[in-house]
Amino acid sequence: MSDVMIEINGLSKSFGSLEVLRGIDLEVERGEVVCVIGPSGSGKSTLLRCVNLLEEPTAGKVVVDGTDLTDPDTDLDGARRHIGMVFQQFNLFAHLPVLDNLTVAQRKVLGRDKATAEKVARENLERVGLSDKADAMPAQLSGGQQQRVAIARALSMNPQVMLFDEPTSALDPELVGDVLGVMRQLADEGMTMLVVTHEMQFAREVADRVLFMDGGGIVEQGPPADVIGAPKEERTRTFLARVL
């Protein structure tokens, strides 16, 4: 078993004539937590979406847990099962209770029977501190609770990697802490995580490595104490001055 969980080589992505990612090289180790920071429009979401091929790269290679997702012969649906993704908008099924939100994909995609899927769902609701909300409807929950349900739903698929795209950006400030707490706990459990975030305190405390992106490239990367605490590049300093 290799120590590398995500391997990205020469990844480029264009939308028409707009070059959004310009030859990204990135390796994420098993169990590593990498936070991606950078201004709006720098390509952070596109990078994340290329990791599970929600966006098809224009060029380059994306290998996750030894499977080359950019190889046309790869079973993409099969590979994606091992990659959990949590978005800014939680995208829960509004017409289904929480428990069913967590069991649908387990049953349809993984073929688990109802009892197994519900057992896994309850375990993961407990993991995010919501074991008492199994029967609630999404609309009855706060934004922070809904985002924790979305995390529990992703975890119920037993992912090897979790991708987070600004998971707290849509939340009222007082609800951010609970979601970050769950993410911190996942990091402590050894989950491999790639997290786009504007929460600099979280990045400082939880990330093993911080990447600063601008203009579709990685401008600077390293331990949070360096990239956030003592950035080398002028563009990083300018960005941090605006967000800190």
Task: Report the partner that residue 15 touches, choosing among ligand ADP, Mg ion, none (CB closer than 5 to 8 A by kind).
Answer: ligand ADP
User: Is 44 or 153 the residue whose CB approaches ligand ADP more closely?
Assistant: 44
Give min distance, CB of 103 to Mg ion, in A: 29
Are 220 and 227 spatial neighbours (Cβ–Cβ below 8 Å)? yes
For the chain, the residue count is 244
Task: Report the partner that residue 224 touches, choosing among Mg ion, ligand ADP, none (CB closer than 5 to 8 A by kind).
Answer: none
Give min distance, CB of 198 to Mg ion, in A: 10
Q: Which of residues 150-169 bind ligand ADP (CB under 6 A)?
A: none
Q: Is 42 in the site for ligand ADP (CB under 6 A)?
A: yes
- Per DSSP (E only), the strands in the chain are 4-15, 18-29, 33-37, 59-64, 67-68, 83-86, 161-165, 192-196, 209-214, 217-222
Q: Using CA atoms, how far apart are residues 47 and 57, in angstroms rounded to an integer?
A: 9
Q: Is 40 in the site for ligand ADP (CB under 6 A)?
A: yes
Q: Which of residues 171-190 bind ligand ADP (CB under 6 A)?
A: none
CB atoms within 10 A of CB 154: 20
Q: Is 43 in the site for ligand ADP (CB under 6 A)?
A: yes
Total residues contacting ligand ADP by CB under 6 A comes to 11
Q: Is 44 in the site for ligand ADP (CB under 6 A)?
A: yes
Give 120's strand partners: none
User: Is 55 or 68 the residue whose CB approaches Mg ion more closely?
Assistant: 55
